[in-house]
């Protein structure tokens, strides 16, 4: 457990020769001479030396042998060349950390290999030279870490000690440990000097007696092999009363000393919370987790568009060396924070907006007016265009137009423009959009309560239809279609006394059987809608039809929108695999054993091109499709979800849905006596309400324009492209995000910068055709350090994850995984090689803006979308992949690194959310209660030793064992702590795009295994390594690249 000579850990180009006396090392110098043995040169000698030492304890504490300063500095051993061979992954030493700021190397000698570094950081590096121990200083006194021959566990401990992170101090349980004069932090020591004994565990791989590895009552690390295979077998320990379990022998480091997302988020909130002014080219925005108010001063808000890098390299070769992605994540209709100004509307009259004659870019603050204001030079293509006489204005002494601050397009980065007839289909202004509800009325839909809960509550939800600003009533029309093996239309014309049903039995040739009355105003036909919703459950209450059509039903909705000559959205409520003889008929091909293998593409890709073709037809008509799936068996989400993906829609999935809207019917059909509360039905209604009421653009077309030298190439998200430039979106709401990769055409100028303009042509909910413009200005650089200093890791992770999902449909899972790890290693290796100061190869140097890249990369590769566990079904995996495709940056951050909130010690008088904890089992105690959520799932973990008063006030039970964990909601108790906990859950739900189902997890129950998989910093058996294991593997890849 003592220090190691320089060069013993670092891989170099020359092999290391073992010392002549290696087979029989003296006991007092074993810490210096066992290092070559650690590299697997003489494995059998480990056990031969370890056993006699434990059988002769008196020899371990001989003062004359412990205090021999001349032998601590043996020149021949200090000059041994490093060994080239790398140890296996499970024995590889973890890297030393330096969270590094780009810049010139610091003055002075570089850090020597194997040297310990203090944890305190300077602004330049977190590993400055420390205060070395005097050459003649004696090792610690007897009883504080005497030298002995290293067992395999001690060798692993020596390796862990070389990581530039302090070990976890022992947590006292009984008597206080003896005080030593060693400092609390490991200062640099000369080779051979013993580190502070309080920083190390015992030889058996466990803390000394009286300490615990995880703290009292903590939830220990989950079992399972790490990245390098199973843990080493337990060796004889110096504390026989505390045998070391295998899963604890590699947990010797304090995870709190590794880069923490919780700390990074908190630091960014303190540094960048508040106002954010967009007046500087290439300015890196705050993190998506930070609350800030955007003041638009010529560049668009980061809520609308983010870039992976804000200092763009002048040459493509520099970008290629770093492997950093150059991409944009665009959310054109993102929600603005309270206090931010709504986008202003400009009206250019019948002449239309002012544009560049060459590239057709729209007028923006980046344009430069010349010739006294008679012409302007386009910042994107450098062409000059005459200013229309009606738009002319004089320039001031600074070359700025006199009306600059009276026109939004001249002073703001985001704004809207009223479109003329030339921007409309057939030069005709569009009609207001319509919403069509397609309801499955088969046996399954009646039995699980879907029909009843929909018909009971949809009229209330319709009161929240979107409306334009300043309008008291919504112009969106609605209609209803039901289907099983045939399709039913309903005439809701206001002049009728009762609604009329029209049946189309020929599902192979779908048409609309009525010319008027299919789409009506909610206000005008309110009584007919109420009558219809009352009759539908009665008409189909006794049905025994189990086969359903889906493709024909969507075609029916599409034809209805075409007949009304308007765009709109279809809300499809479906329950089973469409096996009826009709277009879009599917077969059951479910085989979850293929997941994770090279053959998984056969169940994750669409089995039929029908739904892709149907999606293209819907996009052409401006028809978006949102799928609500209520299934108890396989429904082939990978295939039916394509129609939602291509139209800019969304898929909602409710597995084993059971609504108790009609308890008598459910009990009669299933003989269920005890029914839980109708939380599933409430979750569906909340999702439907949000989907209907959220800001949405219809029949949209988006184009991305860039300045000379770069161009958009690949697009990722829910969309359809008929050509290489226009992204067609039947609808786009505030939650949708499209990622765009940028490639080089030529070199860039460091003085001019790089510019991007996103133009979205769309129809409002009131039927007005508009243009929404977003402008972004990026800096250019010739130094690689500037790239790493001005990158956005959250956006990088969002883009890499969407790229990986697409690659999964074309490559094997291992190829995708290796490609992601290789690219991450190349990013960090390029920084180490070109930007960091010279240092030992045993140190992992991380750029400040990307110090969480290893963590997020590991979380991404372990997520359900890219990996998934054995309990994941094929539909679950496809659903996760589809959801990830359209996530914005904030959603991907929460999805990959869930939020863990302690609830047992919350302040009942506070209005803020409790401080989040790192997502690891070491932060969970058995006397605590924790809320974990990632935007899709929500868990409430209850320890078995929670305070009875807390349990009584929140769950109405004094002990955890009596809590009914089958419930999916908390009791509404009239206690302060109950109200506070329910408020926290409600607030978390409102922050996310979906209404998450609450799952109660009691310590020790089977659901705890599922809960553990969301503790992403821990090891998950075969699913993925822990944070530490992945760092070791990534560091090995970096060293291989550098060598």
* Distance between CA atoms of residues 798 and 560, nearest Å: 37
Asked which of 664, 694, 724 is the last residue of a domain, the reply is 694
Q: What pLDDT was estimated at residue 843?
A: 84
Please report the DSSP string for 923-938 in residue order.
G-BTT-EEEEE-SS-E
pLDDT exceeds 50 at position 497: yes
Number of domains in the chain: 4
What are the tens digits of pLDDT across the range 312-355? 999 999 999 999 999 999 999 999 999 999 999 999 999 999 99
Residue recorded with tokens 């409309």: 424
Q: Are residues 159 and 234 in the same domain?
A: yes
What are the tens digits of pLDDT across the range 177-208? 333 333 333 333 333 333 333 232 333 333 33
Q: Are residues 513 and 390 in the same domain?
A: no
Closest of 251, 172, 173, 162 to residue 206, by C-alpha: 251
* Distance between CA atoms of residues 528 and 495, nearest Å: 10
pLDDT exceeds 50 at position 71: no
Q: Are residues 514 and 543 in the same domain?
A: yes
Q: What pLDDT was estimated at residue 29?
A: 39
Looking at 35-44, 511-520, 765-774, 971-980, which range is the least confident one? 35-44
Q: What pLDDT was estimated at residue 253?
A: 59
Instruction: Give 3-state DSSP helix, strand, coil % of the chain, rounded to 5.
Output: 30, 15, 50
Q: Are residues 400 and 487 in the same domain?
A: no
Q: What pLDDT was estimated at residue 251?
A: 45
* Distance between CA atoms of residues 474 and 732, nearest Å: 19
Asked which of 238, 256, 272 is the last residue of a domain, the reply is 238
Chain-centre distance for alpha carbon 902: 21
pLDDT exceeds 90 at position 416: yes
Residues in contact with 874: Cβ distance below 8 Å, sequence separation at least 6, in sequence order: 590, 591, 592, 595, 603, 604, 634, 637, 638
What are the tens digits of pLDDT across the range 99-115? 544 444 444 434 343 33
Q: What pLDDT was estimated at residue 978?
A: 95
Under a CB-based contact definition with an 8 Å cutoff, are residues 727 and 761 in contact? no
What are the tens digits of pLDDT across the range 620-654? 999 999 999 999 999 999 999 999 999 999 999 99
* Distance between CA atoms of residues 249 and 204, nearest Å: 8
Chain-centre distance for alpha carbon 897: 6
Under a CB-based contact definition with an 8 Å cutoff, are residues 335 and 734 in contact? yes
* Distance between CA atoms of residues 487 and 789, nearest Å: 59
* % of the chain exceeding 90 in pLDDT: 66
Under a CB-based contact definition with an 8 Å cutoff, are residues 440 and 449 in contact? no
Reported as a pLDDT band with limits 50, 70 and 90, residue 966 is confident
* 714 assigned to some structural domain: no
* 262 assigned to some structural domain: no
* Distance between CA atoms of residues 470 and 626, nearest Å: 28
Reported as a pLDDT band with limits 50, 70 and 90, residue 48 is very low
* 834 assigned to some structural domain: no
Q: Are residues 518 and 377 in the same domain?
A: no
DSSP class of residue 405? G
* Distance between CA atoms of residues 650 and 736, nearest Å: 9
What are the tens digits of pLDDT across the range 730-742? 999 999 999 999 9
- Integer angstrom CA distances of residue 663 from 81, 451, 470, 545, 666: 78, 13, 43, 21, 5
Q: What angle do CA 207, 208, 211 make, to 5 degrees?
A: 70
Q: What is the CATH number of the domain that holds 484?
A: 3.40.50.410
What are the tens digits of pLDDT across the range 835-855? 998 888 788 899 999 999 999
pLDDT exceeds 50 at position 759: yes
For residue 908, give its domain range. Answer: 898-1015
Under a CB-based contact definition with an 8 Å cutoff, are residues 460 and 795 in contact? no
Strands 726-733 and 710-716: unpaired
Please report the DSSP string for 870-919 in residue order.
TT--HHHHHHHHHHHHT--HHHHHHHHS-EEEE-TT--TT--SPPPPB-S
What are the tens digits of pLDDT across the range 461-496? 999 999 988 788 999 999 999 999 999 999 999 999
Whole-number CA gyration radius for the chain:
32
Q: What is the pTM of this model?
A: 0.77
Under a CB-based contact definition with an 8 Å cutoff, are residues 237 and 205 in contact? yes
pLDDT exceeds 90 at position 1008: yes
* 839 assigned to some structural domain: no
Strands 696-706 and 754-763: antiparallel
pLDDT exceeds 60 at position 661: no
Q: What pLDDT was estimated at residue 466?
A: 94
Asked which of 193, 215, 238 is the last residue of a domain, the reply is 238
pLDDT exceeds 50 at position 47: no
Cβ atoms within 10 A of the Cβ of 44, count?
A: 7
966 burial type by CB count under 10 A (0-12 exposed, 13-18 middle, 19+ buried): exposed
**How crowded is the C-beta side of 798, counted as CA atoms within 13 Å?**
34
Q: Are residues 399 and 461 in the same domain?
A: no
Q: Are residues 511 and 578 in the same domain?
A: yes
Under a CB-based contact definition with an 8 Å cutoff, are residues 618 and 590 in contact? no
Three-state SS across 506-546? Answer: CCCCCCCCCCCCCCECCCCCHHHHHHHHHHHHHHCCCCCCC
Under a CB-based contact definition with an 8 Å cutoff, are residues 169 and 183 in contact? no
Please report the DSSP string for 986-1005 in residue order.
HHHHHHSSS-PPEEEEETTS
Which pair of tokens denotes residue 50?
């370890």
Q: What is the CATH number of the domain that holds 950?
A: 3.40.20.10
pLDDT exceeds 70 at position 244: no
* 755 assigned to some structural domain: no
Q: What pLDDT was estimated at residue 126?
A: 37
**Rounded to a whole number, what is the distance in angstroms from the first to the last CA of the chain?**
29
DSSP class of residue 716? E
What are the tens digits of pLDDT across the range 123-140? 333 333 333 334 444 444
pLDDT exceeds 60 at position 212: no
* 389 assigned to some structural domain: yes
DSSP class of residue 850? G
Under a CB-based contact definition with an 8 Å cutoff, are residues 1042 and 833 in contact? yes
Reported as a pLDDT band with limits 50, 70 and 90, residue 96 is low
pLDDT exceeds 70 at position 712: yes
Q: Are residues 110 and 220 in the same domain?
A: yes
Question: How high is the mean pLDDT of the chain?
Answer: 80
pLDDT exceeds 50 at position 550: yes
Q: What pLDDT was estimated at residue 833?
A: 93
Which pair of tokens denotes residue 7?
């060069």
Number of separate helices (H) and strands (E) present in the chain: 29, 29
Q: Are residues 918 and 992 in the same domain?
A: yes
Q: Are residues 398 and 482 in the same domain?
A: no
* 849 assigned to some structural domain: no
Quick one: angle between helices 551-564 and 610-620, nearest 10? 10
Q: Are residues 54 and 2 in the same domain?
A: yes
Looking at 189-193, 451-455, 801-805, which range is the least confident one? 189-193
3-state secondary structure of 81: coil
* % of the chain exceeding 70 in pLDDT: 73
- Given phi > 0 = left and psi -120 to 50 = alpha, else beta, which region is 973? beta
Q: What is the CATH number of the domain that holds 368?
A: 2.30.30.380
Looking at 189-193, 360-364, 390-394, 491-495, which range is the least confident one? 189-193
Q: Are residues 371 and 445 in the same domain?
A: no
Reported as a pLDDT band with limits 50, 70 and 90, residue 818 is very high
Closest of 753, 644, 771 to residue 697, by C-alpha: 771
Looking at 529-533, 808-812, 888-892, which range is the least confident one? 808-812
* 822 assigned to some structural domain: no
């Amino acid at each position: 457990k003592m220090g190691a000579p320089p060069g013993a850990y670092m891989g170099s180009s020359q092999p290391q020769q073992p010392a002549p006396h290696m087979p029989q090392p003296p006991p007092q110098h074993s810490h210096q001479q066992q290092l070559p043995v650690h590299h697997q040169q003489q494995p059998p000698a480990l056990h031969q030396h370890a056993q006699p030492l434990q059988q002769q304890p008196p020899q371990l504490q001989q003062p004359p042998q412990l205090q021999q300063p001349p032998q601590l500095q043996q020149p021949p051993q200090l000059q041994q060349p490093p060994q080239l061979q790398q140890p296996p992954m499970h024995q590889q030493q973890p890297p030393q950390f330096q969270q590094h700021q780009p810049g010139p190397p610091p003055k002075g000698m570089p850090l020597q290999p194997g040297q310990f570094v203090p944890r305190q950081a300077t602004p330049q590096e977190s590993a400055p030279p420390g205060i070395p121990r005097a050459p003649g200083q004696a090792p610690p006194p007897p009883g504080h870490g005497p030298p002995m021959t290293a067992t395999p566990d001690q060798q692993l401990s020596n390796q862990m000690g070389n990581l530039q992170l302090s070990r976890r101090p022992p947590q006292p349980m009984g008597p206080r440990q003896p005080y030593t004069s060693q400092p609390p932090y490991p200062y640099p020591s000369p080779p051979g000097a013993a580190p502070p004994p309080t920083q190390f565990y015992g030889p058996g791989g466990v803390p000394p007696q009286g300490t615990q590895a995880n703290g009292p009552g903590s939830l220990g690390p989950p079992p399972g092999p790490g990245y390098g295979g199973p843990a080493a077998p337990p060796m004889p320990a110096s504390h026989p009363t505390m045998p070391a379990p295998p899963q604890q022998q590699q947990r010797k480091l304090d995870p709190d000393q590794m880069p923490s997302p919780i700390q990074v988020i908190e630091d960014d909130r303190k540094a960048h919370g508040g106002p954010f002014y967009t007046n500087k080219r290439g300015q890196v925005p705050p993190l998506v987790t930070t609350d800030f108010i955007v003041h638009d001063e010529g560049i668009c808000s980061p809520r609308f568009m983010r870039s992976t890098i804000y200092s763009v390299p002048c040459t493509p070769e520099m970008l290629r060396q770093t492997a950093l992605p150059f991409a944009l994540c665009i959310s054109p209709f993102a929600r603005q924070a309270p206090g931010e100004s709504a986008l202003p509307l400009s009206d250019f009259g019948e002449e239309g907006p002012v544009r560049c004659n060459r590239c057709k870019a729209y007028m923006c603050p980046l344009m430069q007016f010349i010739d006294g204001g008679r012409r302007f030079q386009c910042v994107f293509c450098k062409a000059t265009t005459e200013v229309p006489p009606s738009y002319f204005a004089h320039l001031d002494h600074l070359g700025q137009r006199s009306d600059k601050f009276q026109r939004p397009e001249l002073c703001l980065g985001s704004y809207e423009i009223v479109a003329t007839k030339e921007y409309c289909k057939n030069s005709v202004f569009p009609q207001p959009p319509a919403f069509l509800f397609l309801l499955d009325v088969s046996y399954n839909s009646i039995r699980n309560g879907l029909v009843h809960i929909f018909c009971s509550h949809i009229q209330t939800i319709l009161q929240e239809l979107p409306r334009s600003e300043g309008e008291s009533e919504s112009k969106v029309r609605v209609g209803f279609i039901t289907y099983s093996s045939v399709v039913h239309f309903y005439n809701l014309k206001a002049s009728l006394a009762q609604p009329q049903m029209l049946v189309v039995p020929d599902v192979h040739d779908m048409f609309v059987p009525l010319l008027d009355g299919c789409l009506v105003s909610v206000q005008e036909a309110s009584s007919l809608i109420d009558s219809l919703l009352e009759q539908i459950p009665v008409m189909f209450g006794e049905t025994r039809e189990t086969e359903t059509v889906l493709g024909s039903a969507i075609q029916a909705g599409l034809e209805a929108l075409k007949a009304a000559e308007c765009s709109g959205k279809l809300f499809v409520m479906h329950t089973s695999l469409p096996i009826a003889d009709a277009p879009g008929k599917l077969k059951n091909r479910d085989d979850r054993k293929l997941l994770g293998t090279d053959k998984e593409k056969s169940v994750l890709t669409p089995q039929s091109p029908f739904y892709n073709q149907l999606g293209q037809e819907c996009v052409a008509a401006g028809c978006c499709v949102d799928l609500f799936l209520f299934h108890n068996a396989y429904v082939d989400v990978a295939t039916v979800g394509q129609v939602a993906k291509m139209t800019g829609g969304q898929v909602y999935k409710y597995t084993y849905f059971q609504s108790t809207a009609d308890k008598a019917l459910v009990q009669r059909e299933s003989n269920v006596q005890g029914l839980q509360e109708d939380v599933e039905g409430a979750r569906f209604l909340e999702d439907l309400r949000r989907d209907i009421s959220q800001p949405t653009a219809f029949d949209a077309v988006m184009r991305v324009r860039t300045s000379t030298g770069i161009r958009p190439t690949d697009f990722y998200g829910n969309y359809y492209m008929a050509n290489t430039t226009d992204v067609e979106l039947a609808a786009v709401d505030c939650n949708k995000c499209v990622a765009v990769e940028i490639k080089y055409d030529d070199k860039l100028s460091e003085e001019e910068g790089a510019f991007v303009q996103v133009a979205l042509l769309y129809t409002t909910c009131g039927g007005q055709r508009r243009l929404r413009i977003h402008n972004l200005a990026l800096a250019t650089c010739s130094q690689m350090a500037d790239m790493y200093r001005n990158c956005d890791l959250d956006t990088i992770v969002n883009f890499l994850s969407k790229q990986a999902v697409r690659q999964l449909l074309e490559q094997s899972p291992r190829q995708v995984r290796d490609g992601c790890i290789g690219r991450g290693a190349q990013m960090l290796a390029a920084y180490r090689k070109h930007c960091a100061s010279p240092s030992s190869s045993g140190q992992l140097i991380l750029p400040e803006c990307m110090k969480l890249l290893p963590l997020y990369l590991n979380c991404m590769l372990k997520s359900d979308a890219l990996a998934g566990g054995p309990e994941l079904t094929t539909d679950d995996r496809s659903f996760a992949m589809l959801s990830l495709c359209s996530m914005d940056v904030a959603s991907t951050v929460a999805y990959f690194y869930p939020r863990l909130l302690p609830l047992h010690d919350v302040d009942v008088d506070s209005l803020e959310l409790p401080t989040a904890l790192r997502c690891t089992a070491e932060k969970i105690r058995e006397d605590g209660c924790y809320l974990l959520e990632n935007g899709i799932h929500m868990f409430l973990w209850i320890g078995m030793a929670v305070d009875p008063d807390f349990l009584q006030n929140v769950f109405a039970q004094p002990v955890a064992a009596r809590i009914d964990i089958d419930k999916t909601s908390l009791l509404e108790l009239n206690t302060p702590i109950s109200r506070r906990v329910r408020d926290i859950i409600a607030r978390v739900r409102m922050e996310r795009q979906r209404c998450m189902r609450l799952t109660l997890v009691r310590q020790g129950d089977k659901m705890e295994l599922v809960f553990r998989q969301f503790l992403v910093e821990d090891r998950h058996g075969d699913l993925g390594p822990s944070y530490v294991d992945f760092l070791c593997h990534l560091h090995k890849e970096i060293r291989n690249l550098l060598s």
